Structure 1
Amino acid sequence: MEQFAGGLPGGSIVLILLAVFVILCVLLGVRIVPQSEKHVVERFGRLRAVLGPGINLIVPFLDRVRHRVSVLERQLPTAEQDAITTDNVLVKVETSVFYRIIEPEKTVYRIRDVDAAIATTVAGIVRSEIGKMELDQVQSNRNDLTMKIREQVRAMVDDWGIEVTRAEILDVNLDEATRAAMLQQLNAERARRAQVTEAEGSKRSVELSADAQLYAAEQQAKARRITADAEAYATQAVAKAIAEHGIEAAQYQVALKQVEALTAVGQGTGKQTIIVPASALEAFGDAFKLLKGRG
């Protein structure tokens, strides 16, 4: 024991070393994983476990955290790729892809460059889908095209432990010649629609005018029919009176007409002299008698 004089005893050194070993084992065996990460643990170079968020225990000196993988959603840089439609139009398609890693054990062992692999996959799918469509369909069915691309990309990257959360077509660009041709076609279509609208307006105007004329003709016909019915009724009444009262009824109607005629002449402006034949005076006398008798 003399060799430890002035120093720590041998037992104390052993205890200190043991304590250091225990602390080291604790530091190496306890792993605290952040919420935004997953850790891939290997043992002797092989996959041992995947540690989730929180406190995790591993075997010190045997297990090793080989990969720290972020599970946050990521966005690929906006990419632009060429594609040719079925009507041989060259378009440049801008795409944007968002993804996140959900199974790190697949991602770290099956693919080296995740971003490049996804970008290549998206470019191939975009060219394939646009190659099945005409330019007008690409422009008008962009939502359907986006959904198809999204579903196919998800299926392709599933083996890599990746989930594609969004895949969008930002823009479809055309060359100048195609743009000019489309603009000319659009102007022609607008002119055609304007002509059709004008023709429909003219047609409607003619129809309304014809309806107005038809209505006026119908009203005139109704007026004539009413007048004819009134005249027929009057004639029928006279005929009935003649049938019931004989010649006296006829003479009465004639007398009425003659008196009305003389009254109208007498009401004229200025001084008027009316010459009436003697035979007419006798007829008037008879008429006045009939009138008086009727009164």
Structure 2
Amino acid sequence: MDIETLIVDLLSGNIVLLLLAALLITVVFKGVKIVPQSEQYVVERFGRLRAVLGPGINLIVPFIDRVAHEISILERQLPNASQDAITKDNVLLQVETSVFYRITEPERTVYRIRDVDGAIATTVAGIVRAEIGKMDLDDVQANRAQLITTIKALVEDSVNDWGIQVTRAEILDVNLDQATRDAMLQQLNAERARRAQVTEAEGSKRAVELAADAELYASEQTAKARRILADAEAYATQVVADAINENGLEAAQYQIALKQVESLTALGSGSGKQTIVVPAQAIEAFGDAFKLLKGRGA
């Protein structure tokens, strides 16, 4: 009987130890929380926010505190959304957008908004419509980068109370309705035709200018040549005048008479030209020439 009592006592003691060990393990499991690097845990105590646990080992009060939300803090991308918008000049556009964001304050996100993605998508759609409504179509196409920056800043202000940081906002595409596309194509073709006409007109104008420049250059060169020839004739006249001034008029007359005699001799020596009829004034000139030649011993 004593042995049986001892066995029962030992078994009872072991059960108690096992229960204590199980309780200890449960307490440790419930009280120690290991949070991954990419997450944060929101802890509640009796239904109220108690703490936000960061990455690493964290301790909470077992059975009193509990992890109510496990929030990923990685950057997220909303599904690409397409919404209609009307520009200031009444052109219907279909704008495709994409937004990237991350949760920075989980306690705000889980207690202030239910559907984060839906709320951000709705906010972006409203802001895009409002901003495009302030711009003409040409401004939307030309200032897309500025429009993206404005949309990002406005979305950040709108979602700030939700503990969210908008990291990027993109306008992926801007599509026009078919009627607007056809009108823009006609305008583009007309602009190309106008530019071609302007280019042709400018070419014709340039050709006329070049022809006029060439004609002016030719005239200048002709005038220059005439001026040079006149200068040469003036120079020759001056040389003759200087020679007459230095050697006297008689030397010049002598050279003229010599040339006259040479010309008369050439005429007389030709075939069938032995008889020469000259004017009386020429005979007097020849007489003077012969006198000069005789006087010089020719």
- Which category describes the TM-score, using the shorter chain as reference length? 0.7 to 0.9
The equivalent position to 1:26 in structure 2, one of 20, 25, 28, is 28
In the other structure, the counterpart of 1:114 is 116
Q: Secondary structure at the match of 1:233?
A: helix
Is residue 137 of structure 2 the alignment partner of residue 96 of structure 1?
Answer: no
In the other structure, the counterpart of 1:131 is 133
In the other structure, the counterpart of 1:86 is 88
Q: Secondary structure at the match of 2:62?
A: coil
Q: Secondary structure at the match of 2:10?
A: coil
TM-superposed deviation, 1:7? 6.2
Is residue 38 of structure 2 the alignment partner of residue 36 of structure 1?
Answer: yes
TM-superposed deviation, 1:125? 0.8
> In 2, are the aligned partners of 1:40 and 1:49 still within 8 Å (CA)?
yes
**Residues in 2 aligned to 1:284 and 1:70: alpha-carbon distance in whole angstroms:** 131
TM-score (norm 2): 0.86
The equivalent position to 1:105 in structure 2, one of 104, 107, 110, is 107
In the other structure, the counterpart of 1:245 is 247
> In 2, are the aligned partners of 1:40 and 1:105 still within 8 Å (CA)?
yes
**Residues in 1 aligned to 2:294 and 2:32: alpha-carbon distance in whole angstroms:** 144
Letter in 2 for 1:136: D
Relative distance call for 1:260 and 1:65 in structure 2 (3 A) is: farther
Relative distance call for 1:213 and 1:255 in structure 2 (3 A) is: farther
> In 1, are the aligned partners of 2:94 and 2:174 still within 8 Å (CA)?
yes
TM-superposed deviation, 1:161? 1.3
In the other structure, the counterpart of 1:156 is 158
Deviations 1:125-166 (A, max 9, x none): 111111111111112221221121112112221221112122
**Residues in 2 aligned to 1:260 and 1:124: alpha-carbon distance in whole angstroms:** 115
**Residues in 1 aligned to 2:24 and 2:187: alpha-carbon distance in whole angstroms:** 81
In the other structure, the counterpart of 1:75 is 77
Q: Secondary structure at the match of 1:8?
A: helix
TM-superposed deviation, 1:193? 0.8
Relative distance call for 1:232 and 1:287 in structure 2 (3 A) is: farther
In the TM superposition, 1:193-208 aligns within 5 A as 193-208=195-210
Letter in 2 for 1:50: V
TM-superposed deviation, 1:124? 0.9
The equivalent position to 1:181 in structure 2, one of 170, 180, 183, is 183
* Stretch of structure 1 that moved more, 280-289 or 192-201: 280-289
**Residues in 2 aligned to 1:112 and 1:290: alpha-carbon distance in whole angstroms:** 141
Relative distance call for 1:89 and 1:261 in structure 2 (3 A) is: farther
* Stretch of structure 1 that moved more, 120-129 or 17-26: 17-26
TM-superposed deviation, 1:74? 1.6
**Residues in 1 aligned to 2:33 and 2:208: alpha-carbon distance in whole angstroms:** 88
Deviations 1:246-295 (A, max 9, x none): 312432563576579779x77xxx957374665454455467679999xx
The equivalent position to 1:234 in structure 2, one of 214, 236, 240, is 236
**Residues in 2 aligned to 1:35 and 1:262: alpha-carbon distance in whole angstroms:** 129
> In 2, are the aligned partners of 1:150 and 1:164 still within 8 Å (CA)?
yes
TM-score (norm 1): 0.87
> In 1, are the aligned partners of 2:254 and 2:293 still within 8 Å (CA)?
no
> In 1, are the aligned partners of 2:44 and 2:51 still within 8 Å (CA)?
yes
TM-superposed deviation, 1:9? 4.5
**Residues in 2 aligned to 1:286 and 1:159: alpha-carbon distance in whole angstroms:** 133
In the other structure, the counterpart of 2:54 is 52
Relative distance call for 1:23 and 1:250 in structure 2 (3 A) is: same
> In 2, are the aligned partners of 1:252 and 1:290 still within 8 Å (CA)?
no
Q: RMSD between aligned alpha carbons?
A: 2.8
**Residues in 2 aligned to 1:68 and 1:131: alpha-carbon distance in whole angstroms:** 40
**Residues in 1 aligned to 2:146 and 2:272: alpha-carbon distance in whole angstroms:** 99
**Residues in 2 aligned to 1:32 and 1:215: alpha-carbon distance in whole angstroms:** 94
Relative distance call for 1:4 and 1:255 in structure 2 (3 A) is: farther
Letter in 2 for 1:31: K
> In 1, are the aligned partners of 2:257 and 2:286 still within 8 Å (CA)?
no
Relative distance call for 1:68 and 1:258 in structure 2 (3 A) is: farther
Q: Identity over aligned residues, as a percent?
A: 70
Letter in 1 for 2:129: R
* Stretch of structure 1 that moved more, 171-180 or 250-259: 250-259
**Residues in 2 aligned to 1:11 and 1:56: alpha-carbon distance in whole angstroms:** 33
> In 2, are the aligned partners of 1:4 and 1:10 still within 8 Å (CA)?
no
Relative distance call for 1:291 and 1:215 in structure 2 (3 A) is: farther
